[in-house]
Chain A
Amino acid sequence: GESVGLHLPTLSVQEGDNSIINCAYSNSASDYFIWYKQESGKGPQFIIDIRSNMDKRQGQRVTVLLNKTVKHLSLQIAATQPGDSAVYFCAENGNSGGSNYKLTFGKGTLLTVNP
């Protein structure tokens, strides 16, 4: 069958640099946002989350910024390491009923860290 190539946005950085990965979301009613890291052949791994009543949240080496006005989310990774190389997805939960986590994933970004 016909193969589908990867059409992911890509970001290539040098080890030790800071990385910024951006995401635009569509549902203005979304109240919970998550960043996931997905390595090849593995499931998405939780990185950091943020609720809509916040505009910034920090974790270990990672910071998430939320701009509700323009519906934009970003993930900042400080001192990027080769082990950070992966596809990064943002996800939003705008479901007001049913499951708490009917997450809608954004397009992933492939981060490549060069040693």
Chain B
Amino acid sequence: AAGVIQSPRHLIKEKRETATLKCYPIPRHDTVYWYQQGPGQDPQFLISFYEKMQSDKGSIPDRFSAQQFSDYHSELNMSSLELGDSALYFCASSSARGAEEKLFFGSGTQLSVL
């Protein structure tokens, strides 16, 4: 079965650079969530989108922005990167219309800021 696809798998950037993370949800899933997980930490909710509109916002820095496109894929844009942004970034998807309500996670993008 198709899963949530994230790219790139690993990303190395320097301070003050920008980064774009991509997420392709499970087919027919209309909701996308972004989470940030620091080393040894639990995942922290950043932002979510339903039907291409932002549906909820968590602890996402102002330097970050995200959007969901017409094909339901989502991109997380990160600017003025800081050392503290180094983390594993997960995307998850679900279907608000489907009978299944589970949240499915991708394998994540490991971002390292040097």
Residues on A lying within 8 angstroms of B by beta carbon are 1, 3-8, 32, 34, 36, 41-46, 49, 89, 95, 98-108
With A43-B108, A89-B42 as contacts: A98 and B48 at CB distance below 8 Å: yes
Given B38, B83, B101, which contacts A100 in the complex, CB threshold below 8 Å?
B101
Residue B72 lies at the interface, judged by CB distance under 8 Å to chain A: no
With A99-B31, A99-B50 as contacts: A6 and B39 at CB distance below 8 Å: yes
Residues on B lying within 8 angstroms of A by beta carbon are 4, 31, 33, 38-45, 48, 50, 55-56, 58, 83, 90, 92, 94, 96, 101-108, 110
- Residues on A with beta carbons closer than 8 Å to the beta carbon of B4: 43
- Residues on A with beta carbons closer than 8 Å to the beta carbon of B31: 99-101
Decide if A46 touches B102 in the complex (CB within 8 Å).
yes
Q: In terms of DSSP, what is the predominant structure of the interface of chain A?
A: loop
With A1-B83, A42-B107 as contacts: A103 and B102 at CB distance below 8 Å: no
Decide if A105 touches B43 in the complex (CB within 8 Å).
yes
Decide if B48 touches A43 in the complex (CB within 8 Å).
no
Cα separation A59 to B14 with both chains bound (whole Å): 45
- Residues on B with beta carbons closer than 8 Å to the beta carbon of A89: 42-43
Decide if B94 touches A100 in the complex (CB within 8 Å).
yes
Decide if B42 touches A107 in the complex (CB within 8 Å).
yes
Give the interface centre of B39, B40, B50, B58 by most chain A CB atoms within 10 Å: B40
Cα separation A48 to B46 with both chains bound (whole Å): 23
What is the distance, in angstroms, from A97's C-beta to the closest C-beta of chain B?
8
